[in-house]
Amino acid sequence: MAQIKVVVGLGNPGSKYEDTRHNIGFDVIDRLALCQSGTKFARKFDAEIAEIELDFQRVMLVKPMTFMNLSGKSVGQIIQFYKIPLVDLVVICDDLSLPLGKLRIRGGGSAGGQNGLKDIARALGTDQFPRFRLGIGDRGIIDAADYVLAKFRPSERPAVDGGILTTMQAISVWVNQGIEPAMNRFNGPSDPLTTK
C-alpha cells in the first residue's frame, strides 16, 4: 500500500468558531475536500478525517476536534497508528505575525506562540515537522485572544481566499516534490526562511 500523506488543519470545533481567524487551517482542509466530489469526513482519533487523492497521491485530511490548544492529542494518535514519517506530515495554522493571506512554509522549528503547533510538538516529542503558516493580519491594539477568535471582515475575504488558494497550491507541490521545493517556490526569494 502506498504511503499516505497527512495534512492537518488547525482550528476549533463548533459553529461558534466557523470563519474565525484561528480556524483558517480548517478552512484550507474544507476547500481541499471540496476539490473531490463525494469526500466525506468520519470521526476518528479525536478528529474529523477524510481521504482524497491529490495528483495521484493518497492524502489524509485531518481537522482535530480537541480545540486548538490540545491538537497534539489527535495528531499524535494518527502519526503513531499509521506510522507516518514526519516528512509526510504537514500542519496548517494561522499566524498573527504575517500579513493577511501571506503564506510562510517551514520544515520545522519553534511554534512561535502558536499553541496548536506547540501541543503537536509536545505530543510528537519534536518540533521538526513541516508547517504552513497563513497570515491572519495585524491585530493592532486588539488583544490577541480576542483577535484570533474574531471573524474575518467582508473586506478581508479576497485576501483570505487568495491565501487559502495559494496554500492549496503549495500543498500540491509538497505532496509531489517535498518541503524544499514548496519553500523555494512559495516563500519567495527574499524570505530568510526559504532555505531553512
pLDDT tens-digit map of 113-137:
899 999 999 999 999 999 999 999 8
Question: What's the pLDDT at 161?
Answer: 96
Determine the number of helices (DSSP H) and then strands (DSSP E) in the chain: 6, 7
**Residue 184's closest CA among 72, 107, 75?**
107
31: confidence class by pLDDT, cuts 50, 70, 90: very high
Residue 77 backbone dihedrals phi, psi, to 5 degrees: -60, -45
Dist CA 41 CA 22 (whole Å): 21
Evaluate if residue 145 carries a pLDDT over 50.
yes
Break the chain into its structural domains and give their ranges: 5-186
What is the total residue count of the chain? 196
The CATH topology of domain 5-186 is Rossmann fold (3.40.50)
CB 72 within 8 A of CB 119: yes
Give the torsion sign (CA, 119, 26, 86, 4): positive
Q: Where are the beta strands (DSSP E) in the chain?
A: 5-9, 42-44, 47-54, 57-64, 89-95, 103-106, 131-135
Instruction: Give the rounded percent of residues in the chain with a pLDDT score beyond 90.
Output: 79
pLDDT 10s digits, 55-75: 889 999 999 999 999 999 999
Catalogue the active-site residues: 22
CA 191 vs. chain centroid, Å, equals 20
Question: What's the pLDDT at 113?
Answer: 86
